[in-house]
Structure formats: structure tokens, C-alpha cells
Amino acid sequence: MRLLFELSKEHTTLPTAEVLASLIAEGIDASVINSNEDVLLVETETNDDGIKQLAERLAFTFMIDELLFCCPATIDEILQNAQNHQLSSEGSLAIRCKNRSTHIDSEHLIDQLGDIYTKNRQVNLTNPDIELRAVITDSVAYLGIKKAGIDTSYFQQRRGHLRPFLSPITLHPKIARAMVNLSQVKKQQTLLDPFCGTGGILLEAGLLGVNILGSDIEQKMIDGSQKNLDFYHLKNYRLYCADIGNVARYAAAVDAIATDFPYARSTTTKGEQLTRLYNRAFETISQVLKKKRYAVVGLSNEDIATIGEQYLSVVAIYPVKSHRSLTRYFVVYKKD
């Protein structure tokens, strides 16, 4: 089948990268047919269970649809293709439209599609058996059947100020989840965060059924992480108060690493010069990470990525604006 991922557009490349990494993590073979800021279209043989597992992972996707057709984004082309792609399933129907074009009227399009698809079929806008979704960009129109939706409000409900323990620097849960997904970690595998802070990355990994290890140089952060993980009823974790150079004592041969490096605004480095700290951190990461596996590292400056290249290979860099004065760079590394 062809699956259409409706992307959030909060970032230009991160949503697509997250989907592709999650497909690998879930063991789903897929080939990319089309990719842009609005959608990712892939060919895959996965089933409904596989789609459900994907939906439970993703942070920067709104919907996953089974594609009926795509065509140039004009009313005539859409309606002509709709006539040639009838629905095979019985049941009630609702038609929705995500319109990112500047020249098509959503209500008019829904009415016209309704004339084609609702003949001898009940319309149910609240709880339909089939939800037909039109995604319209300026150049291409996609029509598909909803297979799964992602409720991103769950990420909002896990924001830092809603947890028992808060630090001034806390990643948004959606970013933390995307970092976990970019690491391609699978359920029951082990992910390490060697600068775990308040435990936000560990939390997102733990909620996916990943075994989690966290360390931090400050005992108060370890205590706070434990409060946060316990608050969300996670049991599959181990935490250690340790300098980055001693992490290998507690975490040898991990399947994935996701971490946000300290950058000394509101974090503690115990007076250590940052370049030296980062060198030691990358050295430790290269020691404990299994071969052919991935580490996703948050950096305050893109130039710092070159330090990691002494130990690991850079796969991709994703800049994410945190607020007006700060851009974080999330770098995916691979151990060769």
C-alpha cells in the first residue's frame, strides 16, 4: 500500500527524518515515492498493526493515510481522479480537507467530493466508518483514507512545568521524542542519556517500551529525574550520578544514545571548559555505543559537531529554533 504521512511543517526536514527513522525502528520496509514539507509518501507492505505502532511513536506527523491517488492541484483534476478511484469498503463517510493551497476553496472541494463519494452512503461527521482526507498543496493534491491519527496534545501534557521536577532548560517533549526516534531504537532495546537532567528524553523513550539508562553529574538532577519517571509510572529505568567519564562503568554496549549537551547557561559543568567536556563526552559515547548504531546529540552550536566527527560519523544535522535568540542543532551520529 501507499502510505501518506501528513507532516506538521514545524520544521523543514525533521518530520520526514523522524518518520523514516521510525519505519526502520519498527522493522517496516518502505520506499519513498515523494517527500516535501507537507507530506511524505511511501510504498510499504505493512499492516494496520504496523501503522498503529508508527502512530504511537511519531511527534511531528498529524495523520497517516492510505493513499487513493495524487494529482495536480486543480478542482478538475481532483474530481476526475476521484471518479476513477471509488471506495471499496462499506460504511458511513466523512470528508475532511487540509488545505495548504492558495487557490482552492476547501468547502467547495468537499461538496464536490461528497457528490462523488456519498452516493448510497450515510454521512457521519462525528464517528464515521471511513474518513476520506484531502491534502492540498499549491501544486499537488492527495486523497486518502485515514488509517491513524496522532494526538499531539499528549506531548503538551508532558511539558516541563507539568512534571514534578523542573529545570530552566527542558526540551519540549516533541523534540525529545523526535530525538529518540532518530536514534532508531526499538522496543526492549536500551537507550542511554548521559546528560539526563530532568529526564525528558528518558521519559519519551520509556513510554515507547525502551529500556532507559540515565546519568548526570548532579545528584539533584538524578533525584528529579526519578520523580518525573515515577510520576509517569515508568519502571524500566536505571539512573546514576556520574561524571561523563565514568558512564562506561554503568552503561556498556547500549543500542542507542539521545542526549542534549550542557551549554553552561543554566547547566552545571563543574567549572570544566566546554570543549574539553564535549571531547570527553564524545569519547564516552563512542565507547559505550554498539557498532552500526546511532547517537542523537543536541548542541548549542553547529561547529561543535566537528568534535564528534573525531569519534563518530555525522549522518544529518537538524537545526531547531528554540526561541528568538537560540537555535539548537540536533546531530545524528553513527558508530562505524
Q: Is the distance from CB of 205 to CB of 185 less than 8 angstroms?
A: yes
Q: Is the distance from CB of 71 to CB of 31 less than 8 angstroms?
A: no
3-state helix/strand/coil string of 159-215: CHHHCCCCCCCCCCHHHHHHHHHHCCCCCCCEEEECCCCCCHHHHHHHCCCCEEEEE
* DSSP state letter for 173: H
Write the pLDDT tens digit of every residue in 120-171: 899 999 999 999 999 999 999 999 999 999 999 999 999 999 999 988 778 9
Which of the four pLDDT bands, split at 50, 70 and 90, describes residue 266? very low
Collapsing DSSP to helix, strand or coil, 298 comes out as strand
DSSP 54-123: HHHH-SSEEEEEEEEEEEESSHHHHHHHHHHS---S-S-EEEEEEE--SS--HHHHHHHHHHHH-TTS-B
Compute φ and ψ for 314, nearest 5 degrees. -80, 125
User: Could you count the other beta carbons within 10 Å of the beta carbon of residue 3?
Assistant: 25
User: Counting beta carbons within 10 angstroms of the beta carbon of residue 118, is it exposed (0 to 12), middle (13 to 18) or buried (19 or more)?
Assistant: middle
Nearest-5° Cα angle at 279, 275 to 282:
135
**Which domains, and CATH codes, for the chain?**
2-149 (3.30.2130.30), 158-334 (3.40.50.150)
The residues that bridge with 273 in the sheet, in sequence order, are none
Collapsing DSSP to helix, strand or coil, 31 comes out as strand
**Average pLDDT over the chain, rounded to an integer:** 95
Taking alpha carbons only, the member of 66, 54, 41, 57 closest to residue 137 is 41
Q: At what angle do helices 75-84 and 106-117 cross, to 10 degrees?
A: 20
User: Counting beta carbons within 10 angstroms of the beta carbon of residue 51, is it exposed (0 to 12), middle (13 to 18) or buried (19 or more)?
Assistant: buried
Which of the four pLDDT bands, split at 50, 70 and 90, describes residue 324? low
C-alpha cell at 308: 564528534
Confidence (pTM) = 0.94
Cell 532507559 -> residue = 212
Q: Is the pLDDT of residue 264 over 70?
A: no
Q: Is the distance from CB of 109 to CB of 134 less than 8 angstroms?
A: yes
CA atoms within 13 A on the CB side of 228: 30
* DSSP state letter for 27: T
Write the pLDDT tens digit of every residue in 163-207: 999 887 789 999 999 999 999 999 999 999 999 999 999 999 999
